[in-house]
Chain A
Amino acid sequence: METRRHPLVTLAIYVPLVTLALLMLSPFAWMLLAALMKQGNALKFVFIPGGDASLADRLATLYSFSNFEAVATNQDFPFGRFFFNSLMVATSCAGLVVLICTMGGYAFAKKDFPGKDLMFRVLLTSMLVPGMIYMIPQLTLVIQLGWINSLAGLVVPHLASVFGLFLMRQYIETIPDSLFEAARMDGANELQILRHVVFPLSVPVMITLFLLTFLFQWSNFLWQLVVNTPDSPLRTLPVGLALFKGQYSTNWELMMAGACFSVLPIAALFLAAQKFFIEGLTQGAVKG
């Protein structure tokens, strides 16, 4: 049924959409531009300098990558290093979470074992506990294990992701049992079933879980702040940015360049993998 929509209605839909989109996106566009401006220029609000020279020349007087360079190699706040640390933490955590939760999800989805129900309920309840309660004892544990300022301390406490477990369980449940039967009849043992049936078929949701965990660990400010001492070589981006802001609080161009280190990779990752992000959310929240 095709109905012609009144042009006013169309306007009433597009105007708020465009305004809101501008409202939400312009701070970031601004951040990017400010990061590219030579120092001292961000607050003049001149985007295209006037004058007689060619456009390329005029733009070159205002914009350069110098801020990024300065921030990446800064002695006290090496954002290049921060970026690498964040990348390491987020990737290793996400990778391990996917591995562990896929195995566990397979067990919950396709296997029966004593205590299954109880375990399920306990895990479900644990999702209601706020993060702060874990923080202090986890910190004690990490200190006792000697994991302060180490990759293990940053990554390991977050590996038991109940959300990840349930996500994988939900997905693996939809894999037809017949595939498993066929594999077993062919004489496959459990390890082979995992490798040839579970993993290949779960790739989409594994990617989603990887991305979601990656994202969470990239911006997990509180834990990274607490587990690293201020001079740790393993400082990550959010912590680095916060400390940087404390010292360079008036040099906006540098700060925006630092912020870009965190924002640009995530934005790029998101744009490239939107489908997985969005699907993962709806799977986890609407059904869960």
Chain B
Amino acid sequence: MSKQGRDALTAYLLLAPFLLLFVVFLGYPVIYSGWMSMGKVTLTTDWYRVFQDMSYCGLDNYRKLFTSDPEFWWSLLLTLGYAALTIPLGIGLSLALALLLSNRIRAVGFFRSAFFLPNVLDPLVVGVLWVFICAPQYGLLDLGVRWALTASHVPPHWLPAWLHRVMQFGLLGTPASVLPTIALAMVLKGAGFGMILFLTAIQNIPGDLYEAADLDGASAWDKLVHITLPFVKPIILFMLITGVTGSLNAFTEIYAMTGGEGGPATEVSLPTAQGFIHVAAWMAAWVAGAGILGLFVRWVKELTGNKSDLDRWILPVTMLAALVFAAFNAPQVGTPVRFTGRAASVSGFYLFKTFERGDYGYAAAIAFVLMGVALLISALNMRLMRQSD
């Protein structure tokens, strides 16, 4: 056998265990999942004859998902909120910590370990710990607040109603504060990871850049924005993408902090599909109109030679104003769908719930939709980041 042939054979042999495991446990499941998402597979399906027992129903699961599952859309909305909280805060805190630690300080090692340690711990344990802290009546937070209130002698009837409610049910028991609390806990836990990444990137920035900037009389803010930030952008992109996939798949922390229930029950009312399309079209019309108006104004300004530095803000500001106006004045079309949902049931958790009650085919469909969303957002992110380079 030729050397090349021998090389190839050895390579295959070396890779054989990995590839075998990959194909059996990763490759096959993806295909199988796709097939399952097109069938009705439930608890009663005989697992040993899944293919025969599964009743093929084409894209039924997907159709049901898009048209008659308001809980799913609610979970997507919650996921959006969760992502909006965890991603900016997470990136901001990680970056801030990295910047703080890249100065000359004593005990850098101690701080680095201290900040990274929570990241290493089990999300379930961290969740249980936070449940303890946020528990009403005897949790740390509650005791702290009550001590502060008694120490400052504020009479109880001065306090707003919501404070009483929160103190009665705890931060994790009030619908409005559950998700932000979970988000905060996760940000604090995960900041160390991003911090390490940022630190590495910052340490790779050549020092002479800063010296040159100093010579040119640059302020600290200038140095941050024009030197540090560009070097750190790939990390921000990485954290954006992992943040999005993380939010879409978030499960353990929700389970841990809500005792497996997904948060306190809350009344939810969402527009129906037609209602949603109607409102979206309404808002799009307003924004488009504002856009045209803005373009017209800019054109006129150019004609009359009345230019100013602020010109480039005309378009975005008018469109944003139109968006806000339209959002608040949107017409109500059709009766909204009302149901009792859970205040922290993000998409990953909702997927688990579907899985738990045995609706496996449907769960597979949800998983693929979520993956599609994740891929879409990641692609968008990469496009945006590349443009601004």
Footprint of B on A, CB under 8 Å?
Answer: 1, 5, 13-14, 16-17, 20-21, 23-25, 27-28, 30-31, 34, 43, 45, 100-101, 103-104, 106-108, 111-114, 116, 123, 126, 128-138, 140-141, 143-144, 156-157, 159-160, 162, 165, 190, 215, 218-219, 221-222, 237-238, 241-242, 245-246, 249, 252, 255-256, 259, 262-263, 266-267, 270-271, 274, 277-278, 281-282, 285-286
Cβ-defined contact, B364 with A136, below 8 A: yes
Say yes or no: A137-B33 contact (C-beta < 8 A), given A45-B143, A242-B256.
yes
Cβ-defined contact, B120 with A270, below 8 A: yes
Partner of A132, one of B124, B130, B348: B348
Partner of A17, one of B48, B100, B248: B100
Closest to A271 in B: B113
Say yes or no: A100-B117 contact (C-beta < 8 A), given A21-B111, A107-B10, A111-B10.
no
Cβ-defined contact, B118 with A241, below 8 A: no
Cβ-defined contact, A138 with B25, below 8 A: yes
Closest 4 CB pairs of A and B: A137-B29, A219-B122, A113-B8, A160-B21
Cβ-defined contact, A43 with B138, below 8 A: yes
Cβ-defined contact, B123 with A221, below 8 A: yes
Cα of A262 to Cα of B121 in the assembled complex, Å: 8
Query: A20 contacts which chain B residues (CB < 8 A)?
Result: 97, 115
Cβ-defined contact, B100 with A13, below 8 A: yes
Cα of A27 to Cα of B122 in the assembled complex, Å: 14
Residues 242-301 of B at the A interface (beta carbon under 8 Å): 245, 248-249, 251-252, 255-256, 259-260
Can you name 11 extra interface pairs (CB under 8 A) apart from A28-B129, A241-B125, A286-B234? A5-B104, A30-B140, A104-B14, A104-B17, A104-B19, A126-B27, A132-B351, A137-B29, A144-B48, A160-B22, A219-B125
Cα of A162 to Cα of B211 in the assembled complex, Å: 42
Q: Mark B7-25, 1 if CB is under 8 A from A, else 0.
A: 1101111110111011011
Query: A286 contacts which chain B residues (CB < 8 A)?
Result: 197, 200-201, 234-235
Cβ-defined contact, B259 with A246, below 8 A: yes
Partner of B122, one of A157, A256, A262: A262
Query: B36 contacts which chain A residues (CB < 8 A)?
Result: 136-137
24 A-B residue contacts at CB 8 Å? Answer: A24-B114, A24-B188, A27-B130, A28-B117, A103-B18, A107-B12, A107-B14, A130-B248, A130-B370, A132-B367, A133-B371, A136-B33, A136-B355, A141-B29, A144-B47, A156-B25, A238-B122, A242-B255, A256-B129, A262-B121, A270-B113, A281-B193, A286-B234, A286-B235
Cβ-defined contact, B100 with A16, below 8 A: yes
Tell me if B101 is interfacial: C-beta within 8 Å of chain A.
yes
Tell me if B28 is interfacial: C-beta within 8 Å of chain A.
yes
Query: B191 contacts which chain A residues (CB < 8 A)?
Result: 24
Partner of B115, one of A21, A128, A238, A262: A21
Q: Mark B35-53, 1 if CB is under 8 A from A, else 0.
A: 0100000000001101000
- Write the nearest CB–CB distance from A100 to chain B, whole angstroms: 5
- Write the nearest CB–CB distance from B99 to chain A, whole angstroms: 9
Tell me if B352 is interfacial: C-beta within 8 Å of chain A.
yes
- Write the nearest CB–CB distance from B242 to chain A, whole angstroms: 9
Cβ-defined contact, B249 with A131, below 8 A: yes
Residues 125-155 of B at the A interface (beta carbon under 8 Å): 125, 128-133, 138, 140, 143
Cα of A95 to Cα of B58 in the assembled complex, Å: 42
Cβ-defined contact, B121 with A266, below 8 A: yes
Say yes or no: A1-B211 contact (C-beta < 8 A), given A17-B101, A100-B18, A129-B371.
yes
Partner of A267, one of B17, B121, B371: B121
Cβ-defined contact, B124 with A238, below 8 A: yes
Cα of A256 to Cα of B130 in the assembled complex, Å: 11
Cβ-defined contact, A23 with B125, below 8 A: no
Tell me if B363 is interfacial: C-beta within 8 Å of chain A.
yes
Cβ-defined contact, B117 with A267, below 8 A: yes
Cβ-defined contact, A140 with B129, below 8 A: no
Say yes or no: A237-B122 contact (C-beta < 8 A), given A23-B188, A136-B355, A242-B255.
yes
Say yes or no: A106-B14 contact (C-beta < 8 A), given A21-B115, A28-B129, A141-B24.
yes
